[in-house]
Structure 1
Amino acid sequence: MESRADQGPLLNTGLDDSIAPSQDPRNSRSARRVSSLSVIGEVLLDLLIAVSCAYFIVFAVLVYARRNQPIEQPGNRDLIEAAKYTPTIFPILFSAVVAKFLKAIAAVKLEHGTSVLAIEYLLQSRTVFSTFMAPITLKTINVLTPVLFLLWALSPLGGQAGLRVISTQESFSNATQNFTYLAFVSPFSNNGVGSASAEPLVPINAIFTAAIIASAKTKNLPQDQFGNVKVPVYESLSPEDGTDWRSVPESDDVEWSSLTGLPIHNLPSTGVSRFTMNTGYMLTSCNTSGHDWTEDYRQSLEDYIGWSGANYALSPNRVDQFAITNFTFRSLDLLPASSPAPEGKILTVANCTVGMSYVEVQIKCDGQTCHSVAVRPSPNPASHPLNYSHSALSVTDWTPINGLGQEDIMYTQFFPDFTNATNPTVGCDTVFCPPSAIEAYLADPANTVLQTSTTKLWGLGDDIISKRFTQLINTYWIDSIAPAAVSGNFTVAPQSNLLLYNTDSTFGTVTTSQVVVKCEYPWLALMLLCSIVLFIIGVATVVLSARRRGPDILDRFSSLLRDNPYANTVPHISSMEDAADQSKRLGDLMVRLGDVRPEEDIGYVAIGVLDGKQAVQKLSVKRDYA
């Protein structure tokens, strides 16, 4: 036989089954009553937990109530922030409530009488993992199994629903807006150099020169350096089947009618604006040729009307409402003084005709960043003719520089002003003049600042010369009629009597977007289901706990000592004592799961008290136990 040293005292080998706990009336207690302070305290605690479950219902209701509201509205960001914690908080609270609920059911069923298997099933199903393990450990499946599976499935679903029930999305709204823009056909308001009305020529020429010498990137953008919207040349765009609208590509390869765009009034700083401008531009068509030239004839070039004192002359024909606008452009090919004498056809002669093209332009602006979307010929040209002004010219031949929309004859100074805009008559001898910005632009729009010589312009061809003259003439026209407006001071009612430009208006739409709260309805329904079930379980726990009459003996080790014949030395208070109170009272009591019949051939395993009055030997692999 093995040694029993250090295996506990061996004082008794049997127990008297008739021994029962003391029934001292002084320690007797009544059954649990709802009115008792301990029950009230427990019910209040359970009620507090149940009320906390209602948080998720309130959260779901708030998400639904605040759907489609701006995210910046007070409280909405807090809802989104709170949703981040739901996957953590919901499963924790769900586990606590359901575990307490299952224990409360087990306690009530135990008082009413039920099977051991039912009690074990309830007690072993108080966590997700133990619920799935209970059928395996108990080796049975009953009606509770699928119910408990479904119940615990609500825990992760509710947590994820709380996270996914709320999100954000962009909401769009449309409003009608009136847009006012500069009318291309407006009065020309100065009488040339030396006149009383010539004061605006300084800013006009400055704006014009700035547009010419701007970077190639700026020239290719759909807006000029002041944010004005450029109008594309309709004739340069690719036609489309079934419509006279032609799309404007978003690439840099767009032929703009002018380097200066049209200013727009009442353009909001936010939102997407869409409207259609009814406007126009002058279109130049040139026939270019090259001619021989000798220095002997240089001085005679100054005799041409419009000679600027530089290397070219621009000679217009009659400029009135009874003649189509034509002009002849003559330009010398120049090389630096140190270069050999030029040879060949160094004189460019371009005979050009100027007409009008009226278009409707669809404009789209994101905030104040705008671009032309599509263009078509205008069915109702915005020609702004004066009632007392008439012309036998067609609508395409009558232009602002031959009297269209003009109250007087100031427009006859357009070509002289244009010719001298970038190259005044001073500072240049008769031997060599550096090319002006206009000449440089005609030669190479991407390199207008550092040119010290000009190329044979006639070699560029009719199309290129026509295109560049179109841009130059329209640019100077827009800069001349409204220098303050194009430089950022566009008002509907001009304040200066010297600059009475016309305006046109159109109605468009402004689409504004804002980030709003988005409610995901499938997840909302799932969250409400999980939250309501959780709240009902919490309330049911309150009711079940209040209905329990006996002590709380489930789920406590001290319950194993209750009425245990091998622990009869444990001080007894009352059979109504809760297991938690008993555990606290017997906290220092030494117990052991061991052999309570060590002297017999076959031992017996039970929990006994190590108080020296009863033998509780350690279990051994060398003994058998009943």
Structure 2
Amino acid sequence: MADLYNIQNKVGKGGIRRKPVALMPEDPPTSTALEQSSPFLKQVSPVVLEQDADFPKSWPTRPELVKSSTISIITDIFIDTILLGLSLAFFTFGLIVRHYDQAPVALHEGTVKTLLEATKYGPSVFPILFACVLGRAAQAILAWRLESGERVGVCDLLASSTSLTSTVTSQIKLRMVSFLGFALILIWSLSPIGGQASFRQLSIGARIDNEPASFTYMIFGGRMEQYDTSDRTTSFGIINNLFATALISPTTTKRSPTDTWGNIKIPMIENYESLAFPDSEGWFTTNMSLNVYSSLVGIPMSSMDKTFINYEMNIETSYFNLNCSSVDDTLKSPVTKLPPGNFTGSGAQIWSTDNDAQRHDADANTLEPRQIGYQSWSPPVVASQCTMEMTYIEVKIHCDSPSNCAASKLRRSQQPHLPPAYILIDHDWAGWSQFAANLITAFPGHPTYTTVATSYIVEPNDPLTYVEAFTLPTTSSKPLTTELFEQRFGQLLNTYWTCLNEMHAVINGMTPTTAYMQGTNLSAQASQFFYANSSTTNGTRDATTPIMECNVGWVIALCIASAVMIIASLLHPIIHYFYTRGPDLMLNISSLAMRDNPYVAVPANGTFMAASDRARMLKSFKVRFGDVDQTSDIGRLAIGSLEPPGKYSVGTVSNRRLYY
């Protein structure tokens, strides 16, 4: 044996040189001890490694203790500290997100910006960090188990555990199913889970807090004397335009719970009382199929903005309700013998048989309903006599948002009111005269042509059908019954009445410059600007507050994955400094395949060197995995030297040759 591995070393100017050594002497010893010590030598063909390679001057020439250099120790401490710090950072990240769960964004703008920015990098940084930490820990465990003595299968599993894919595929190739293999797969699966958890654990949501609120809405005042001024022509010009806009608005708008300007329409309760059943408190729940709106222009409200949602409030309001006789469609000319309360417009006339002054001075409790009539003589021909009363209702309003409101419930008002026969027009001496005269002339035109108002009664979906039509329809889309006449004629009266009461508020809403309310400047002779009357009501609204929301499941996943990283980052220094005594090992060629390999021309000394030192010194040394016994009929595959070039022969692997 001494002759077999006898090596002469000499130190020269170029470094250490190794003389040629015969691995298999020409006359090998026949000692049984030699065969027992290395049985495979009996099968190896004689191979001579011409080891003339030059090696670095720093290659050790004498034995030394196994120890780590200062630079190596500092480097390891630095790397271990960085990896541990980053692992703790991800664990802390999850705890911080959990701490700020439900916190308002407005109060923590800087924190929110930082956390959201961190989530962008989590899916990329976490898997890289996880691979670094776990790979370093697996290498330390492998070195420890090799030094302590371990089964090759365990060492192979640890050596191949560099990623989730390699961990799975290596076990399939090795056909090794074990608890260790399952544990490694489970641990590596935390890498993508942790990356996704760092991104998905935080989001921006909304917290809804219900709080009390006060609302201002328009009420009808019946103050017609405000229009008895020199500029009433201009005022009624605005009102008539609002009236026309409401009548010719799209069908979807007419059927919508709000008007063109977003004001809330009020359904007629009479339709519900005849077709639906109230609850124990008298409330009817509104239904689109039962809604017949009292006016095409709704009630404006204030105190609603985009900051809040889900408004709830109750309001008290009123509208004109008609009870008419059968509709007469035979009158072809205007009725000439009518009371002084008669007013004629284009193709139609309206009248009242009641005396305005007498109704104004009378006891409200003794009044009978006001008697009114309507007649048109241009096609379509309609005429009817009606009684006119007030309906007072309480309406529950719900708004999903400031622009999406609707009456959700309604019932008869529970508050005290004047008798229904005393209508709001009767508040003024000439209330009816002002109202009727301007309503019937709202659409000027030829005396014998029908107007949009009359056409609306017959064809509400297309009020322009009969206006100056050359070929008039013979029948309407739906026969005009007394009930339909009451509803549609009532809508005309209520729409015009609403425009009179809120000329500016109908467009701009309830503000101190459009209505008498808190903040209105009463010293500016506001009456000349036709301000709307208002009332306040208490209700509720939901405040939407942007908040940070943490997904607890993803936070737990991140903390578990980060905890595994923290433990793994501690394994390397603990094992390295307390459990291993040998030099550092790397999963590389210079550390494992070239250490005391008889086919590699490397001096036998220097086994105590750290893996990093060996790798640095041997980085230019050429080796090959191939046939190290090309002279025999049957080859042998191993890693062998190609240095210096031409001195050693390690053949390439061939699929036409047999190998041991």
Whether contact under 8 Å (2:516, 2:534) holds in the other structure is no
SS at match of 2:259: coil
The match for 2:468 among 446, 452, 462 is 452
Matched, 1:487 2:507: yes
Whether contact under 8 Å (2:626, 2:650) holds in the other structure is yes
In structure 2, C-alpha distance between the alignment counterparts of 1:254 and 1:100, rounded to whole Å: 74
Whether contact under 8 Å (1:187, 1:502) holds in the other structure is no
In structure 1, C-alpha distance between the alignment counterparts of 2:368 and 2:585, rounded to whole Å: 112
- Amino acid paired to 2:141: I
**Cα distance change on mapping 1:257 and 1:148 into 2, 3 Å:** same
Whether contact under 8 Å (2:584, 2:610) holds in the other structure is yes
In structure 1, C-alpha distance between the alignment counterparts of 2:131 and 2:223, rounded to whole Å: 84
Q: State the TM-score, normalized to the length of structure 1.
A: 0.79
Matched, 1:575 2:607: yes
- Amino acid paired to 2:561: C
- Amino acid paired to 1:266: S
1:263 corresponds in structure 2 to: 300
The CA deviation string for residues 176-206 of structure 1, in whole angstroms up to 9 with x for no partner, is 110111113x142327767797874443344
The CA deviation string for residues 508-540 of structure 1, in whole angstroms up to 9 with x for no partner, is 111233554332222322221111111121122
The match for 1:562 among 550, 574, 595 is 595
In structure 2, C-alpha distance between the alignment counterparts of 1:28 and 1:178, rounded to whole Å: 92
In structure 2, C-alpha distance between the alignment counterparts of 1:421 and 1:414, rounded to whole Å: 11
Aligned pairs for 1:241-260 (under 5 A) are 242-243=279-280, 244-250=282-288, 254-260=291-297
Matched, 1:275 2:313: yes
CA positional deviation for 1:241 = 5.7
Whether contact under 8 Å (2:315, 2:395) holds in the other structure is yes
2:540 corresponds in structure 1 to: 509
The match for 1:175 among 202, 211, 215 is 211
- Amino acid paired to 2:89: Y
- Amino acid paired to 1:505: T
- Bigger Cα displacement from structure 2, 48-57 vs 600-609: 600-609
**Cα distance change on mapping 1:456 and 1:551 into 2, 3 Å:** closer
1:334 corresponds in structure 2 to: 378
Aligned pairs for 1:149-548 (under 5 A) are 149-184=185-220, 186-190=221-225, 200-237=235-272, 238-240=275-277, 242-243=279-280, 244-250=282-288, 254-270=291-307, 271-290=309-328, 300-301=336-337, 305-308=341-344, 310=346, 311-319=348-356, 320=359, 321=364, 322-334=366-378, 349-365=383-399, 366-381=401-416, 383=417, 395-402=419-426, 406=427, 408-422=428-442, 432-449=447-464, 451-452=467-468, 460-488=480-508, 489-492=514-517, 495=522, 496-498=526-528, 499=530, 501-514=532-545, 516-547=547-578, 548=580
- Bigger Cα displacement from structure 2, 272-281 vs 103-112: 103-112
SS at match of 2:67: coil
SS at match of 1:487: helix
In structure 2, C-alpha distance between the alignment counterparts of 1:507 and 1:470, rounded to whole Å: 30
The CA deviation string for residues 324-355 of structure 1, in whole angstroms up to 9 with x for no partner, is 233342524226xxxxxxxxxx9754221111
SS at match of 1:150: helix
The CA deviation string for residues 137-196 of structure 1, in whole angstroms up to 9 with x for no partner, is 666666634443432333343334334433454432212110111113x14232776779
- Amino acid paired to 1:153: S
2:126 corresponds in structure 1 to: 90
In structure 2, C-alpha distance between the alignment counterparts of 1:410 and 1:572, rounded to whole Å: 125
CA positional deviation for 1:103 = 1.1
Matched, 1:59 2:96: no
Unaligned 5+ segments in structure 2 are 1-19, 35-48, 509-513
In structure 2, C-alpha distance between the alignment counterparts of 1:260 and 1:549, rounded to whole Å: 92
Unaligned 5+ segments in structure 1 are 1-9, 336-345, 386-394
SS at match of 1:350: strand
- Amino acid paired to 1:38: S
CA positional deviation for 1:507 = 1.0
In structure 2, C-alpha distance between the alignment counterparts of 1:607 and 1:294, rounded to whole Å: 118
Whether contact under 8 Å (2:264, 2:298) holds in the other structure is yes
- Amino acid paired to 1:575: T
Whether contact under 8 Å (1:264, 1:490) holds in the other structure is no
**Cα distance change on mapping 1:524 and 1:487 into 2, 3 Å:** closer
**Percent identity, aligned pairs only?**
27
In structure 2, C-alpha distance between the alignment counterparts of 1:614 and 1:192, rounded to whole Å: 118
1:14 corresponds in structure 2 to: 24
1:124 corresponds in structure 2 to: 160
In structure 2, C-alpha distance between the alignment counterparts of 1:201 and 1:624, rounded to whole Å: 111
- Amino acid paired to 2:320: M
In structure 2, C-alpha distance between the alignment counterparts of 1:40 and 1:149, rounded to whole Å: 32
Q: CA RMSD in A?
A: 4.2
Higher RCO, Cα 8 Å, sep 6+: 1
CA positional deviation for 1:245 = 2.0
Length, aligned pairs only: 581
Whether contact under 8 Å (2:283, 2:409) holds in the other structure is yes
In structure 1, C-alpha distance between the alignment counterparts of 2:179 and 2:332, rounded to whole Å: 115
In structure 2, C-alpha distance between the alignment counterparts of 1:196 and 1:586, rounded to whole Å: 105
In structure 1, C-alpha distance between the alignment counterparts of 2:195 and 2:633, rounded to whole Å: 57
**Cα distance change on mapping 1:552 and 1:192 into 2, 3 Å:** closer
Whether contact under 8 Å (1:13, 1:615) holds in the other structure is no
SS at match of 1:255: coil
In structure 2, C-alpha distance between the alignment counterparts of 1:555 and 1:24, rounded to whole Å: 21
Whether contact under 8 Å (1:306, 1:415) holds in the other structure is no
SS at match of 1:379: coil
- Bigger Cα displacement from structure 2, 78-87 vs 484-493: 78-87
CA positional deviation for 1:590 = 4.0
CA positional deviation for 1:101 = 0.7
In structure 2, C-alpha distance between the alignment counterparts of 1:196 and 1:570, rounded to whole Å: 114
Matched, 1:49 2:83: yes
The match for 2:582 among 550, 575, 588 is 550
